[in-house]
Chain A
Amino acid sequence: MTDPLLRLSGLTKAYPGVVANKDVSFNIGRGEVHALLGENGAGKSTLVKTIYGLVKPDSGSMTLEGQPFEPADPHAARNAGVAMVFQHFSLFDAMNVAENIALGMENPPPQAQIAAQVRTVSDQYGLPLDPDRIVGELSAGERQRVEIIRCLLQDPKLLIMDEPTSVLTPQEVDILFETLRQLSAEGTAILYISHKLEEIRALCDNATVLRLGQVVGECDPRATSARDMAELMVGSKLHVPERAEKPTGEVVLALDGLSAKAPHQFGTPLRDINLEVRKGEVLGIGGVAGNGQDELVASLSGEMKTVKTMIRYKNEGIGHLPPNARRKIGLLAAPEERIGHAAAPDMTLTENAILTAMTREKLTTKGFLHWAKARRFAEEVIAGFDVRTPGPQNMARSLSGGNLQKFVIGREVMQNPDVLVVNQPTWGVDASAAAAIRQALLDLAAKGAAVIVISQDLDELMEISDRFAALNEGRLSTPRPAKGLTVEEIGLMLGGAHDMEVAHVDG
């Protein structure tokens, strides 16, 4: 057998206080689709950054096509034929596709030539993309195509993809997989990072599982069950959220033709949303990011005002009320963006507790703050939601993403809302923290609160929702019982094919 394309042997990288990678070795063959699996913090990003030249390993070595491979920076890695599509896009909203691609090049050719190349590559790999469109108007899936085409123009030998499907609809995922299979057939190896096991089973030839920085197993994903892989990844039996079957109560929140203009240039207007949410139910709202999720949450939290009667809470019109008036009557929300929206990064956890709990937890008298009480509430949230931090005096930005998310969700849940709206509650959160958050949401619903969960993670929504609806370009499909929905039906709902529902509505 010839040399593999990329051979990693004994890669170790330690940061102060944590070993990110410990003696990691595996091979990627030419044209192989290789999955890298692991929880958040398992060391996947460090490993990938090492391959891409962003991190220098403490020890160990890599060879690319038999030659020693020690990229000093991403530039060197790209020259050697390694390309990477990051989870977070680095694109400028106000520029068009071709301009964005030119920005990533060392010596960009004229715009017309880039546009022509983009068209060729997009035809060749079945990735429809118009080089003249402004990036701000593209969907997340299309933005990802910009990043992929940017990589493909370099004609890479190895393409690294970090969580590529987290922002895609099932149909877009299919398109992406077709492209990746075609690339693989042409001899391009793909290192595919994900924690979505079904995808890996559908796409990858081999899988390497990382846990706490070490390789804990390799498997053939096609021959291994998703549950087995998950347990390999977590290292223990997986906790599946439990829910008590319970009849739902009366309508507590109703949206009545909720419409609103887009709050800014790249926002999405809300168009005639009708919805009733009952006590004790979990309503899941799916959809690809940028289809009105932020706007829907803002109109429910009170950050965005609407016509009074468009939002009714316990039969009172509240569309005009500011955030704290809504909190007072029991409608709470947790927005998607943890840093800078749900929490202020440079403030302590105590101060971040005041941020939303001031009204309900009575943390002020005549405007004067009760610091001791606020601190106690922050401590309760930290204890109740297993937030890993030395204490409430620490800055929010010192917490890891998952811990901060537990704090943000916990802060709202501990205030005993009657209606809780959460947007992407487990985005970027590791599996065990995500399970804890989902359990908390289910427990809240079991106590009689209505919970609206907006998420891009369909598995999550199917796991916890009683009913499911999809947002598409600011329109909400009619909610349907989540039980028994097929992937195809969900995909069509997400894609905005609203007509088909007429035939399927079953009360």
Chain B
Amino acid sequence: MTMRLYVWQRATAALMVPLVLVHIAVIFYATQKGMTAADILSRTHGSIMWASYYGLFVAAASIHAAIGVRNVLTEWSPLTGLRAGRLALMFGLLLAALGARAVLAVVL
């Protein structure tokens, strides 16, 4: 892993610590009385706060996961660093696109 990727992975990890803690708290809160689509959407629809929170979470998770997948592919697969990097980049972009779509789906 290059220094640049190392710094990005650790920085996104540190950024996600509070985001994951809030996410776990929301999971517990949302499942308290059985989770319904109406409950979720009433909380998120039109909310700039939740849009920012989930948008940041998706961006950080996409970068963090892509670098992690690159490391795994480099160490555990016969792929060269370049090919592992390309696959990981595609995975990261896919995650970011799907994540952004999911955020828009629950916020708009």
Query: Is chain B a partner of chain A in the same complex?
Result: no
- A interface residues with partner B (beta carbon < 8 Å): none
- B interface residues with partner A (beta carbon < 8 Å): none
